[in-house]
Amino acid sequence: MESDLNGDEKVPSDEPQGLTSTFPGQLRNVTDARLVADDYLCELARTSPPGAAEHWDDILLVVTELAANTVQYAPGPFELRIRPTFDGVHVTLRDSSTTPPAPRRVDPAHGAGGIGWHLLHALCHQVSVVVRPDGKDVHAFLPW
């Protein structure tokens, strides 16, 4: 058994604490981020299975959308963080752009695009953006 700084015993946990992975920001890193997230969810599911099968797919879709937007709009490396929360999963994508995402009108007649931000808000309990001097963090909280 471990002890914390106060000498109190802590019960060891087999649940994964979280994932942090960095990518150079190339197009193929969208798939890489999704695969890394999928591996992490496999590990998480061993000790804490999802409440519904679609939760897994929703998290992977959010990771894919965030990574794709980062590669398109924020050149340079990006960092993906995923961690369990008391009622779900917290996904954070850190990139190099200080421009916050904004919803765009979806117009399929004039090309693809514009649906990702709306999709994030539909799938997530909460979405927030924290702008930093050297970029931004997009936080997405999803059910698990």
**pLDDT value of residue 116:** 86
Cα angle vertex 104, ends 67, 63, to 5°? 20
Q: What is the dihedral of CA 70, 72, 76, 81, to 10 degrees?
A: 20
The model's pTM: 0.86
Q: What is the DSSP letter of 7?
A: S
Phi, psi dihedrals of residue 130, rounded to the nearest 5°? -115, 115
Q: Which whole number is the average pLDDT over 59-80?
A: 96
Q: Residue 45 corresponds to which tokens in the numbers above?
A: 């599911």
pLDDT digits (tens, 9 = 90+) for 10-67: 444 566 789 999 999 999 999 999 999 999 999 999 999 999 999 999 999 999 999 9
